[in-house]
């Protein structure tokens, strides 16, 4: 009877065999030249493919399924469709393949083994890497913007045959390129890897409200105040300047809390703008200047504003008293340096209506009658009179003996205060405001004569003294 013999493998040899098998497998795994099993790129399996093979596969998939996908841009009534390629979108396939290939090949030995083992248990997908051409998107949006953008328009009001006519405002529209670009980029980045339907992107349009809405003016129907001054129509250039200034003023709307500027409203006083050369007061003298006469329009508006209860922000009197208005109730203006300003103190818009009627400047202020609960009266008080210096004589040898010409008449100067009395609905005085305390210089009389006549007058005056 034969006894069976067992083959006993020494433990050391067994361990060596296991190590050899493991080392061989590890060597093969770590030196694998293709993409490891369990890796996809944008949902496409690239397991065991070389980098070149993976590139070709992903490029074909992108070209057939993604880049031709459509994007519909909507802006108001504008609808335009673009492919991703037309939008300047490209896929960085090289980077995606490189990322896939580098899985299991990064870090130290243990990091590599960990990644290789992990993807066998849980497959890994490389997300899309996009290149978005911002300049191309900006170009497309700028073209759409030209069709979308509309200018806002203020509501307006005019008086026609004694009736108020209102024109509604128009809202403006502006394509917000920065916000729209961001929306497009965000949508493209979030798209599925395969799009079967056109993706719609509403673009961002900013609605621009005009400064004056219909609600700001549609209750203007009541005359708050009016004031008029008279002028001589014989001075044709001055009359034209007055009419030109009234045209610039009439229909002017002043919003609640807004500060009105006469200088800004009239604009440059040039011949090109319809103004002509006429007398103006400079350095206490009447001299010729472009725009002579607009100070009378300014003065008329000043009184209208006072009678409407407006707050005067800036006003300067003339240096000399004027014939067309009481002392203290005038306002001068010099382009770029002296202005007349007032603030609309009502919680609603007011409108100026300025017109020339025969030889009269009439300026009225209209507003919301519901807010008119006070009336105003203006009065001035002469504090003192200032007498002019004695007559000044100027020699002109071309004049005959005994002939005397008055170049400038004598006028008194004044210190004057102006008050505004405020009355309630029952015509009860509730307040008195001091508006101004002005001083007007006197005007010295100037006579022109020849030397002999001047000598005679001088001798006569000496005898009297």
Q: For every one of its 465 residues, what pLDDT tens digit does the chain have, with 9 covering 90 and above?
A: 444 555 566 666 655 555 654 444 454 455 688 999 999 998 899 999 999 998 999 889 888 887 778 899 999 999 999 988 899 988 899 999 999 999 888 888 778 888 888 888 899 998 888 888 999 999 999 999 999 999 999 999 988 888 899 999 999 999 999 999 999 999 888 877 655 678 899 999 999 999 999 999 999 999 999 999 999 999 999 999 999 999 999 999 999 999 999 999 999 988 888 888 776 655 555 556 677 899 999 999 999 999 999 999 999 999 888 999 999 999 999 999 999 999 999 999 999 999 999 999 999 999 999 888 999 999 999 999 999 998 898 898 888 888 888 988 999 999 999 999 999 999 999 999 999 999 999 988 999 888 888 887 777 767 665
Cβ-proximal residues to 186 (8 Å cutoff; 6+ apart), any chain: none
Cα 195 to chain centroid, rounded: 43
Beta pairing partners, 376: 422
Instruction: Tokens for 317, please give them.
Output: 């009197």
Question: Among residues 135, 127, 443, which one has the least CA distance to residue 285?
Answer: 443
By the 8 A CB rule, do 78 and 147 touch? yes
By the 8 A CB rule, do 144 and 203 touch? yes
Cβ-proximal residues to 188 (8 Å cutoff; 6+ apart), any chain: 71, 84, 87, 89, 130, 132
Tracing tokens 């719609």 back to the chain, one arrives at 200
Residues 381, 386, 391, 395, Cα dihedral to 10°:
-90
- Domain boundaries for CATH 2.20.230 within the chain: 374-465
Looking at the domain covering 374-465, what would its CATH class be? Answer: mainly beta
Cα 426 to chain centroid, rounded: 44
Does residue 379 sit in helix, strand or coil? strand
With 0-12 / 13-18 / 19 or more C-beta atoms within 10 angstroms meaning exposed / middle / buried, residue 453 is buried
Question: Among residues 337, 289, 339, which one has the least CA distance to residue 316?
Answer: 339
CA dist 46 and 64 (Å) reads: 17
């Amino acid at each position: 009877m034969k006894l069976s013999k067992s083959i006993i493998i020494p433990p050391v040899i067994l361990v060596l065999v296991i190590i050899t098998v493991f080392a061989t497998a590890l060597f093969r795994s770590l030196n694998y030249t293709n993409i490891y099993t369990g890796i996809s790129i944008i949902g496409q399996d690239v397991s065991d493919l070389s980098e070149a093979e993976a590139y070709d596969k992903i490029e074909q998939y992108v070209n057939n399924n993604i880049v031709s996908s459509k994007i519909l841009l909507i802006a108001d009534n504008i609808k335009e469709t673009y492919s991703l390629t037309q939008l300047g979108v490209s896929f960085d396939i090289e980077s995606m393949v490189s990322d896939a290939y580098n899985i299991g090949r990064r870090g130290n030995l243990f990091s590599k083994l960990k990644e290789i083992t992990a993807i066998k248990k849980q497959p890994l997908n490389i997300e899309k890497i996009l290149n978005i051409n911002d300049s191309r998107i900006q170009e497309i949006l700028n073209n759409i913007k030209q069709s979308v953008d509309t200018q806002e328009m203020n509501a307006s009001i005019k008086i026609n045959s004694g009736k108020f006519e209102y024109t509604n405002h128009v809202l403006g529209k502006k394509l917000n390129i920065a916000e729209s670009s961001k929306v497009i980029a965000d949508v493209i980045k979030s798209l599925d890897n395969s799009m079967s339907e056109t993706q719609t992107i509403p673009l961002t349009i900013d609605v621009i409200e005009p400064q004056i809405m219909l609600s700001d003016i549609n209750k203007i129907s009541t005359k708050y105040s009016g004031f008029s001054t008279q002028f001589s129509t014989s001075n044709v250039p001055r009359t034209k300047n007055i009419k030109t200034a009234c045209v610039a003023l009439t229909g002017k709307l002043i919003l609640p809390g807004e500060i009105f500027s006469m200088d800004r409203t009239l604009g440059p006083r040039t011949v090109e703008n319809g103004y002509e050369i006429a007398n103006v007061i400079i350095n206490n003298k009447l001299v010729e200047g472009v725009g002579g006469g607009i100070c009378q329009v300014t003065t008329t508006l000043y009184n209208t504003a006072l009678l409407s209860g407006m707050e005067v922000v800036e006003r300067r009197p003339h240096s000399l008293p004027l014939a067309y208005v009481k002392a203290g109730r005038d306002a001068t203006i010099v382009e770029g340096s002296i202005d007349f300003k007032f603030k609309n103190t009502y919680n609603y818009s007011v409108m100026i209506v300025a017109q020339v009627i025969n030889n009269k400047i009439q300026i009225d202020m209209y507003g919301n009658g519901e807010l008119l609960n006070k009336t105003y009266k203006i009065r001035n008080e002469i504090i003192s009179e200032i007498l002019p210096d004695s007559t000044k004589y100027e020699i002109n040898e071309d004049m005959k003996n005994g002939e005397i010409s008055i170049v400038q008449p004598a006028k008194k100067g004044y210190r004057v205060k102006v008050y505004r009395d405020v009355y309630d609905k029952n015509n009860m005085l509730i307040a008195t405001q001091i508006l101004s305390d002005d001083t007007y210089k006197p005007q010295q009389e100037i006579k022109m004569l020849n030397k002999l006549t001047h000598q005679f007058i001088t001798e006569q005056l000496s005898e009297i003294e």
